[in-house]
């Protein structure tokens, strides 16, 4: 700093030029900028001044010493306020009291909050009693101030003060019941505690109080929680915090005083009407504390019509100035309204949509800004039932929020029971250690699914999302005992049949039936979707395995099917049996027999999907079973063998033969299962490896696809099949399968005399595929990134097994996010980037999409939008969020509001 240029470290509310600007926010912090702006436009704001963020930075770079000139500025500005209020700071007759509040450019937890009534000491407390004509209030304020100052500025544990109060609160007394004498005693004890436990004695000098409070605000910027928060949220450390120093006003000086909060619109519904609550003769914290029940703001119109009028008009002015729904704090002191704070109001998803659309209509914001105002998380709320926010609930357990929405049902532990109960019209929640294709029918029957193991892309999670069913996975605290039909968590045992509620949006599980609210998709929702479609560059496709799913996806605006997982078609009982026959087949003949049985199922499914997607592309992935998902459970098989052995021991000779036959069959099956069991099935015989080793599998599937396509096309439907080869790691693998696909497809198309165009492409789901993408692209029509598997291999992380350490990793910030939920940009994302670049360079016509679960994740979509990718594909229920996210990614998300 040059000695010539004297930096101004602080500004009176009225002295900063254009505080509403970005510069204003950066220098004064959000809170200070709002106070200055309101002062600017003549709103009734108690006088005050702001120490800038620059001063905070100077303080920290200068070994926590106030920069030169700061204190002189503070003293000068304080005297302006004294003059304006007709009070003197530290005066024993007519003292000026101030609040000291931090305020950084971005809202940030971990920062020092508010110190009220600074300026009180053993002398001025009497002056306050005179001013307010309320000795008890004065001493109560004093004891609060001493406690808060001791805690925040002098580092005394909050508990120490609480315990003192507890001693006085015998016989059901509350804080409010303490009399003046008792309060004086409390203050004395507080000061003694501070002297022995705190950094120093409680300062009776009011200037000392203010200096220390300002320093405490600065120090809190470098506090552990604030630093951690900035690191996690990537907020630069050199923004600094401002300090707001403002004259106190009192809402508790009688029935002509009061305090309250109001929103310029209803934050739950979005309705354009003043919304909020207030209390007469009260301080701000009384409203928050909930000891007295506040009145709805509408009642103020009756009690203080002029004040209500003034508040309404201020509310309108602030909204039109900020182009945003405001959350306003106010105090009425002896019939005079003061505005203490205004900021963008938090709101529900429904309100956010309604407000954004309304504001466009009202000309307050444009369409892009409307899109920026709706966070995908809020938007998601609209699409699923949610738990009534008003409900009081006991959290039973917490897991990963695998599939959003809330539902309740009776606990069942087996898929058969889930199916059976559902058939009888009972609502059930299926609780499993983990799920497998064997559980599929149970998941169909259940209202929600809860598992002990697994991550965001585990079987339960993927299937539940596909069904749009609430699901919580990886609730590791659950101790499930199938044998006893119960689970225990934190000492609470929940038997079969008891009600629980699963909230897949938050990952929380509650005891009992929590009340839920059904979503409504109105014209505002549709309007927002229309705007999203106008502004986004990425197409949005859906992952759908059935005609029904495809129709749902199309209803939500999907522009194609990006992933049809043919193996999912075999999850229901009857088909699973045939699928097993195919997998367990020990020779070509046996296998072809099983395949022949599968063909008609597949053909029917494909035909339904083609019809649902008339005119849109349908991407069908060739069989990609990690075989173990379809194999009978070895342990269960062993149990069956044991049971048969027991029976044989007490069997009569006539029963014996049958039993021995059964035993032989079972053992044969066990041997075969044993042969096929893989140590690491995820890295085993799956994907195109299966098709290369057993070409008849590919042949049958391609036959089913193109027979269905020709048939449906014959009915006048426009069919656009895209055949996708899974788990390719070398161009040779792709060429091997693509040749087979093309030869059979062409043969069937020719036989049918059709003119049908199709394409053959591949999943990019192994690191090697990404690294040699140019070589593969030269042979392929399209790429589709299977980011789930790519995440598993790039990070060496099994989605089935990572549940035991992944939460710990995310908590410890070793991973910034669950990489199965939000794409790992530095690793997986880098491979995607490399592959897109190489792929496009080698084949400019290459179509590129993403079909992993990340295709429905807003932050991941933002990343994909930054690459030269054509579409993302996600589960049908995520399509609207993907459309919105794609638009937000394209127009830029700055200026984002909402919670």
- Which residues of the chain form contacts with a second copy (CB under 8 A)? 628, 634-635, 638, 642, 645, 678-685, 687, 689, 692-693, 727, 729-730, 732-733, 736, 765-768, 771-772, 775, 789, 792-798, 800-802, 804-805, 808-809, 812-815, 824, 826-828, 830-831
Query: Which residue, 42 or 796, has its beta carbon nearer to a second copy?
Result: 796
Nearer to a second copy by Cβ, of 361 and 634: the residue is: 634
Choice between 426 and 870, CB closer to a second copy: 426
Strands annotated E in 628-692: none
Query: Nearest approach, Cβ of 823 to a second copy (angstroms)?
Result: 12
Instruction: Give the nearer residue to a second copy in terms of CB position, either 231 or 530.
Output: 231
Taking the complex as a whole, how short is the minimal distance between the CB of residue 813 and a second copy, in angstroms?
Answer: 7
Residue closer to a second copy by CB (options 62, 633) is 633
CB atoms within 10 A of CB 233: 10
851 classed as catalytic: yes
In the chain, the N- to C-terminal Cα span, in Å, equals 40
Residue 485: CB atoms within 10 Å? 16
Q: Assign residue 512 a region: left if phi > 0, alpha if psi is -120 to 50, beta otherwise?
A: left
Q: Which of 851, 854, 862, 874 is catalytic?
A: 851
Measure the CA–CA gap between 855 and 543, rounded to whole angstroms: 9
> Which of 408, 453 has the CB closer to a second copy?
453
Quick one: how far is CA 357 from the chain centroid?
23
- Residue closer to a second copy, measured from CB, 232 or 291: 232
| Cβ atoms of 800 and 454 closer than 8 Å | yes
Question: Cα(144)–Cα(149) distance, rounded to whole angstroms?
Answer: 8
Angle between helices 22-40 and 53-61 (to 10 degrees): 130
Rounded CA separation 620/606 (Å)? 9
**What is the nearest approach in angstroms of a second copy to the Cβ of residue 483?**
10
Considering the complex, what minimum distance in angstroms separates the CB of residue 824 from a second copy? 7
Backbone phi and psi for residue 611, each to the nearest 5 degrees, phi listed first:
-65, -45
Strand partners, 448: 429
Which residues are CB-contacts of 72 (< 8 A; sequence separation ≥ 6)?
Answer: none
Return the structure tokens found at 305. Answer: 């019509």
Looking from the CA of 582 toward its CB, the CA atoms found within 13 Å total 26
- Residue 110's Cβ-count burial label (10 Å; 0-12, 13-18, 19+) is middle
Please say which residue, 118 or 806, places its beta carbon nearer to a second copy: 806
Asked whether 343 and 324 are in contact (CB, 8 A), the reply is: no
In the complex with a second copy, the residue whose CB is nearer, 349 or 786, is 786
Alpha carbons 812 and 819: distance in angstroms, whole number: 14
Q: Residues 782, 846: contact at Cβ < 8 Å?
A: yes
Report the nearest approach of a second copy to the CB of residue 686 (Å). 9
- Give the nearer residue to a second copy in terms of CB position, either 250 or 734: 734
Minimum Å distance from CB 768 to a second copy? 4
State which residue, 743 or 750, has the beta carbon closest to a second copy.
743
Q: Give the C-alpha separation, 238 to 727, whole Å.
A: 46
Are the C-beta atoms of residues 120 and 142 closer than 8 Å to each other? yes
**How many CB atoms neighbour CB 281 within 10 A?**
17
Phi, psi of 780 (to 5 degrees): -110, 155
CA angle 266/271/274 to nearest 5° reads 50
**Cα–Cα distances in angstroms (integers) from residue 306 to residues 272, 311, 315, in the given order:** 20, 8, 14
Report DSSP state, residue 297: T
Least Cβ distance, residue 797 to a second copy (angstroms) = 6
Nearer to a second copy, 27 or 462 (CB): 462
- How near is the Cβ of 681 to a second copy at its closest, in Å? 7
CA angle, corner 714, sides to 709 and 720, nearest 5?
35
To the nearest 10°, report the CA torsion of 147, 151, 152, 157: -160
Q: At its nearest, how many Å lie between a second copy and the CB of residue 645?
A: 8
Alpha helices by DSSP H, listed for 133-256, are 135-152, 158-168, 180-197, 206-221, 224-233
Could you tell me the sign of the dihedral formed by the alpha carbons of 835, 840, 845, 851, in that order? positive
- Alpha carbon separation from 329 to 40, 69, 141, 339, 344 (Å, rounded): 18, 33, 20, 6, 12
List 37, 408, 441, 459, catalytic entry = 459
- Phi and psi (nearest 5°) for 117? 60, 25
What is the C-alpha to C-alpha distance for residues 899 and 378, in angstroms, rounded to an integer? 8
CB atoms within 10 A of CB 470: 29
**Nearest-approach distance from CB 638 to a second copy, in angstroms:** 5
Min CB(595)–a second copy separation in Å: 19
Question: Minimum Å distance from CB 785 to a second copy?
Answer: 14
Catalytic residues: 459, 851
């Amino acid at each position: 700093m040059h000695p010539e240029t004297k930096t101004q470290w602080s500004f009176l509310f009225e002295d900063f030029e254009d505080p509403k600007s970005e510069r204003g926010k950066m220098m004064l912090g959000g809170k200070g900028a709002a106070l200055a702006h309101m002062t600017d436009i003549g709103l009734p704001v108690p006088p005050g001044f702001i120490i800038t963020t620059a001063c905070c930075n100077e303080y920290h770079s200068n070994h926590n010493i106030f920069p030169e000139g700061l204190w002189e500025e503070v003293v000068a500005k304080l005297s302006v306020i004294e003059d304006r209020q007709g009070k003197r700071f530290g005066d024993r007759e007519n003292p000026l009291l101030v609040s000291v509040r931090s305020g950084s450019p971005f809202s940030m937890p971990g920062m020092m909050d508010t110190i009220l009534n600074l300026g009180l000491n053993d002398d001025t407390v009497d002056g306050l009693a005179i001013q307010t004509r309320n000795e008890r209030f004065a001493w109560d304020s004093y004891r609060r101030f001493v406690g808060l100052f001791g805690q925040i500025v002098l580092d005394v544990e909050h508990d120490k003060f609480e315990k003192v109060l507890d001693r006085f609160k015998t016989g059901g007394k509350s804080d409010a019941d303490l009399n003046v004498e008792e309060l004086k005693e409390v203050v004395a004890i507080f000061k003694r505690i501070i002297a022995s436990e705190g950094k120093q004695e409680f300062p009776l000098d009011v200037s000392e109080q203010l200096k220390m409070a300002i320093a405490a605000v600065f120090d809190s910027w470098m506090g552990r929680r604030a630093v951690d928060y900035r690191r996690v949220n990537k907020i630069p450390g050199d923004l600094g915090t401002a300090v707001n120093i403002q004259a106190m006003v009192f809402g508790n000086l009688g029935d002509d005083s009061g305090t309250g909060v109001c929103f310029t619109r209803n934050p739950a519904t979005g309705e354009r009407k003043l919304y909020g609550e207030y209390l007469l003769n009260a301080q701000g914290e009384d409203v928050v504390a909930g000891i007295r029940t506040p009145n709805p703001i509408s009642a103020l119109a009756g009690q203080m019509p002029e004040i209500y009028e003034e508040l309404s008009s201020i509310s309108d002015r602030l909204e039109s100035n900020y182009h945003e729904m405001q959350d306003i704090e106010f105090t009425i002191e002896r019939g005079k309204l003061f505005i203490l704070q205004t900021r963008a109001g938090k709101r529900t998803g429904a309100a956010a949509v309604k407000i954004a659309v309304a504001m466009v209509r009202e000309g307050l914001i444009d369409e892009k800004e409307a899109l920026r105002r709706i966070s995908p998380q809020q938007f998601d709320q609209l699409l699923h039932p949610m738990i009534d926010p008003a409900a009081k609930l006991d959290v039973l357990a917490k897991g990963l929020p695998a599939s959003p929405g809330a539902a309740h049902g009776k606990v069942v532990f087996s898929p058969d029971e889930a199916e059976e109960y559902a058939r009888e019209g009972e609502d059930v929640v299926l609780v499993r250690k983990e799920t497998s294709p064997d559980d599929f029918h149970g998941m169909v029957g259940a209202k929600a699914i809860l598992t002990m193991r697994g991550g965001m892309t585990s079987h339960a999670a993927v299937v539940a999302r596909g069904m749009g069913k609430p699901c919580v996975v990886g609730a590791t605290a659950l101790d499930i005992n199938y044998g006893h039909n119960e689970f225990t968590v934190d000492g609470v045992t929940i038997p079969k049949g008891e009600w629980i509620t699963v909230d897949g949006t938050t990952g929380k599980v509650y005891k009992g039936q929590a009340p839920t609210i059904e979503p409504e998709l109105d014209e505002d929702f549709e309007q927002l979707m229309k705007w999203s479609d106008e502004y986004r560059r990425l197409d949005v496709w859906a992952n759908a395995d059935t005609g029904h799913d495809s129709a749902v996806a199309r209803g939500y605006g999907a522009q194609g099917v990006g992933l049809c997982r043919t193996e999912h078609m075999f999850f229901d009982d009857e088909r699973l049996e045939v699928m097993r026959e195919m997998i367990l087949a020990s020779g070509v003949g046996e296998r072809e027999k099983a395949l022949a049985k599968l063909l008609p199922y597949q053909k029917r499914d494909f035909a339904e999907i083609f019809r649902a997607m008339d005119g849109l592309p349908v991407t069908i992935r060739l069989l990609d079973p990690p075989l173990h998902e379809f194999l009978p459970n070895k342990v269960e098989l062993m149990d069956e063998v044991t049971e048969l052995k027991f029976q044989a021991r007490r069997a009569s000779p006539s029963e014996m033969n049958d039993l021995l036959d059964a035993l032989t069959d079972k053992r044969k099956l066990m041997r075969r299962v044993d042969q096929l069991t893989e140590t690491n099935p995820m890295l085993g015989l799956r994907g195109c490896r299966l098709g290369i080793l057993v070409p008849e599998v590919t042949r049958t599937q391609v036959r089913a696809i193109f027979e269905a396509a020709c048939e449906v096309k014959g009915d006048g439907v426009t069919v656009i099949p895209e055949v996708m080869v899974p788990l390719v790691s070398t161009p040779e693998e792709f060429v091997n399968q693509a040749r087979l696909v093309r030869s059979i497809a062409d043969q069937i198309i020719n036989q049918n005399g059709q003119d049908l165009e199709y394409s053959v492409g591949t999943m990019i789901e192994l690191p090697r595929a990404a690294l040699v993408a140019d070589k593969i692209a030269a042979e392929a029509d399209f790429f589709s990134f299977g980011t789930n598997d790519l995440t598993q291999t790039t990070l060496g992380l099994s989605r089935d097994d990572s549940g035991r350490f992944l939460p710990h990793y995310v908590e410890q910030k070793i991973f910034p996010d669950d990489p199965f939920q939000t794409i790992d940009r530095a690793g997986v994302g880098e491979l995607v980037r490399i592959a897109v670049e190489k792929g496009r360079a080698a084949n400019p016509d290459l179509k590129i999409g993403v079909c992993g679960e990340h295709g429905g994740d807003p932050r991941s979509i933002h990343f994909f939008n930054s690459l030269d990718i054509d579409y993302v594909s996600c589960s049908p229920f995520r399509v609207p969020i993907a459309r919105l996210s794609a638009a937000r990614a394209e127009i830029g998300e700055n200026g984002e509001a909402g919670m």
